[in-house]
Amino acid sequence: MKEILEKVNEFFASEQFIHTPEELYAPIEYTLRLGGKRIRPFLLLAANQMFGGTTEQVRDAAIGIEVFHNFTLLHDDLMDKSPIRRGQPTVYRKWDENTAILSGDTMFALAWRYFLAQPHPRLREILSCFNQTAIEVCEGQQYDMNFEKQSQVPLDDYMMMIRLKTAVLLAGALKIGALYANAPQADTDHLYQFGIHLGLAFQLQDDLLDSFGNTAEFGKQTGQDIRDNKKTYLILQALQLAPDNCRQELTHLFSSTPADSDEKVARVLQIYNTLGIRQEVEKAISLQFDQALLHLNAIKTEEKNKAPLRELMESLSDRKK
Amino acid sequence: MKEILEKVNEFFASEQFIHTPEELYAPIEYTLRLGGKRIRPFLLLAANQMFGGTTEQVRDAAIGIEVFHNFTLLHDDLMDKSPIRRGQPTVYRKWDENTAILSGDTMFALAWRYFLAQPHPRLREILSCFNQTAIEVCEGQQYDMNFEKQSQVPLDDYMMMIRLKTAVLLAGALKIGALYANAPQADTDHLYQFGIHLGLAFQLQDDLLDSFGNTAEFGKQTGQDIRDNKKTYLILQALQLAPDNCRQELTHLFSSTPADSDEKVARVLQIYNTLGIRQEVEKAISLQFDQALLHLNAIKTEEKNKAPLRELMESLSDRKK
């Protein structure tokens, strides 16, 4: 896993993102230099290596998938009016809204340039997978915005939303990496499903850690989603399990923004504990990891080729932030 | 020309743009149903027919290039805060800014879906041409926004900007149409250059008609660019030709927004007339049409195959709105 991540970091270190006009490309360079876990290019390379692909073959695609991901973050931050990303001001705050719109559009086009840089016998299949993913990510963001305005959101709808907004891009990265190495369809399908379940587990973990993460250890305030009245798996599950009077209180709490938000967070967590929400979410996460594992096991390749993805799964299932 | 435009209109009439979630796709359908001249799909089809291509082969690409064009209009209208497009409210006004951002992003992805719908031996070349065009259109929009903040803009810079923002997409549409019909490179190059000069002529005409169009005949107010202090070929040319005191007056006029803008327009037009700006711009337009014609003439195909593009050029050079 370390080896692959080092390669990914080399790709980015050796790539030039500044072009003319600078007003357009400086925010792109800024965004791509902020770092991040680079999990999507990692998945693309790991899947490629699994079927004997060469790193050079997927260098551009690996950069392309990360450029696309960062484009979605850039526009999402603008739409959500998020001031901070990776500890730094977001593009629309550091520059302005128009810069965020146009630099984002350009990043989407640049992602395509990377995908088009290398010829490949299955290029149309690869590009169609990338494009289908891109469309679904947009649909996921729309559902997310819709849900903020809806009074009730069924858990199934929430799972569909995070599948589109988060999971399909992890799944797409894996499938694309495997397609470059000309993997058989049964295996690219398993990899895709592995990515879907991994992505769902990852997002549910994010939801859980926001309310139950160890704040002292990571210096992050617990309960930001609660303060923001954000619809997550936790509150949607709680609303399903709560008896009438408790559900009414939760609904009331999640439509208020009191000056003392600590008190609100404490009360919501108290209700979560009464309802056993933490255990419910942990169960849901385990379920997704189990499903992911089934698909990883079903892939027909030597066990040693699966090591990086197994290692990733283990590090994710242990993560505390 | 009429025959090709009818085909283009058939394509759009028979295409379904509404999908789920409706909040995402309704603005896309709205934008694409507003109409427009459909000049880019026309060019794509005309270039394809010129080299014996079949209409069915380029149906999807023709839709794709128009979807892309409308995506750029959607985001440009948001960035420029334009309230009206084709006589109707723009998407960000009819819905909101976030809808305009995300529906626009989705349109860009949908354009790719159309381009990927059909296999083609030269697909990578076709897609690379489309993508290079997309990147340049973004760069053109950035230069346009930069110029609004610059006190001085050389005419050459202005020509570069309109080449990127407007001309390359017309050129790209032509080249893509020809690539689908497997035209030789010398001819696709000539078609591309034909499109560049046609696009430059078209934009300079827009600039000219805004100040010197026949208002009574077309019900449009003359001088909107002057009222908006917009940098166009006319004012940039005037600033170059004007003697010192006159240049100072123009600079002053173009940094003011008086309550009585009619008086301002009248004074600017008076200066334009003194300097012979109308004749200068007409000369520049003729020059571009002449260059376009040279490239059209140089294409090695039967004369009858060039008829639709000649007809287009004639209708454009006569246009009054």
Please give the ipTM for the structure prediction: 0.96
Asked if B105 lies within 8 A of A106 by C-beta distance, the reply is no
Task: Tell me the chain B residues in contact with residue A116 when contact means C-beta distances shorter than 8 Å.
Answer: 124, 127-128, 131
Task: Tell me the chain B residues in contact with residue A23 when contact means C-beta distances shorter than 8 Å.
Answer: 142, 145-146
Strand A84-85 to B84-85 pairing: unpaired
Measured between alpha carbons, how far is B77 from B90 in angstroms, rounded to an integer? 7
Task: Tell me the chain B residues in contact with residue A141 when contact means C-beta distances shorter than 8 Å.
Answer: 102
Measured between alpha carbons, how far is B64 from B123 in angstroms, rounded to an integer? 14
Three-state DSSP class for residue B234? helix
pLDDT band at B54 (very low <50, low <70, confident <90, very high): very high
pLDDT band at B320 (very low <50, low <70, confident <90, very high): confident
| pLDDT over 60 at A126, yes or no | yes
pLDDT band at B213 (very low <50, low <70, confident <90, very high): confident
For residue A214, give both structure tokens: 């160890």
Measured between alpha carbons, how far is B118 from B123 in angstroms, rounded to an integer? 9
Task: Tell me the chain B residues in contact with residue A104 when contact means C-beta distances shorter than 8 Å.
Answer: 105
| pLDDT over 80 at B112, yes or no | yes
Please check whether residue B183 is in contact with residue B305, taking contact to mean a CB–CB distance below 8 angstroms: no
Nearest Cα of chain B lies from the Cα of A105 at a distance, in angstroms, of 7
Any chain A CB within 8 A of the CB of B102? yes
What's the number of CA atoms in the CB half-sphere (13 Å) around residue B139?
A: 23
Contacts of A248 (CB under 8 A, 6+ apart): none
Angle ∠(A219,A220,A224) on CA atoms, nearest 5: 160
Mean pLDDT on B188-194 = 98
Contacts of A18 (CB under 8 A, 6+ apart): A25, A26, A29
The 10s digit of each residue's pLDDT in A217-269 is 555 568 999 999 999 999 999 999 999 999 999 999 999 999 999 999 999 99
Measured between alpha carbons, how far is B37 from A44 in angstroms, rounded to an integer? 42
Would you report the helix, strand and coil content of chain A in percent, each value rounded to 5?
75, 0, 20
In single-letter form, the type of residue at position A299 comes to I
| pLDDT over 60 at B53, yes or no | yes
Asked if B105 lies within 8 A of A102 by C-beta distance, the reply is no
Any chain A CB within 8 A of the CB of B153? no
For residue A255, give both structure tokens: 């439509």
Q: How many CB pairs lie under 8 A apart between chains A and B?
A: 101
Of A97, A116, A135, the CB nearest to B131: A116
Three-state DSSP class for residue B268? helix
Q: Tell me what pLDDT residue A218 has.
A: 54
User: How many angstroms separate the Cα of B17 from the Cα of each of A256, B99, B119?
Assistant: 39, 16, 22
Measured between alpha carbons, how far is A67 from A108 in angstroms, rounded to an integer? 7
Q: Tell me what pLDDT residue B220 has.
A: 59
Please check whether residue B161 is in contact with residue B155, taking contact to mean a CB–CB distance below 8 angstroms: no
Measured between alpha carbons, how far is B135 from B142 in angstroms, rounded to an integer? 11
| pLDDT over 60 at A69, yes or no | yes
Which one of B101, B122, B161 makes the best mutation probe of the A interface by having the most chain A beta carbons within 10 Å?
A: B101
Any chain A CB within 8 A of the CB of B104? yes
Measured between alpha carbons, how far is A255 from A263 in angstroms, rounded to an integer? 15
Mean pLDDT on A82-89 = 94
For residue A68, give both structure tokens: 């696309």
pLDDT band at B37 (very low <50, low <70, confident <90, very high): very high
The closest alpha carbon to B80, from B2, B1, B141, belongs to B141
Asked if B146 lies within 8 A of A102 by C-beta distance, the reply is no
For residue A192, give both structure tokens: 């895709």
Any chain A CB within 8 A of the CB of B134? yes
Alpha-carbon A292 to chain mean position: 16
Any chain A CB within 8 A of the CB of B157? no
Measured between alpha carbons, how far is B139 from B165 in angstroms, rounded to an integer? 7
Q: Tell me what pLDDT residue B228 has.
A: 93
The 10s digit of each residue's pLDDT in B238-266 is 999 999 999 999 999 999 999 999 999 99
For residue B136, give both structure tokens: 């340049």
Any chain A CB within 8 A of the CB of B121? no
pLDDT band at A318 (very low <50, low <70, confident <90, very high): confident
Q: Tell me what pLDDT residue B301 has.
A: 96
pLDDT band at B222 (very low <50, low <70, confident <90, very high): confident
User: How many angstroms separate the Cα of B100 from the Cα of each of A99, A104, B24, B29, B76?
Assistant: 15, 14, 9, 13, 10
Asked if B142 lies within 8 A of A102 by C-beta distance, the reply is yes
Task: Tell me the chain A residues in contact with residue B113 when contact means C-beta distances shorter than 8 Å.
Answer: 131-132, 135
Measured between alpha carbons, how far is B253 from B255 in angstroms, rounded to an integer? 6
Q: Tell me what pLDDT residue B48 has.
A: 98
Mean pLDDT on B207-229 = 81
Mean pLDDT on A180-189 = 98
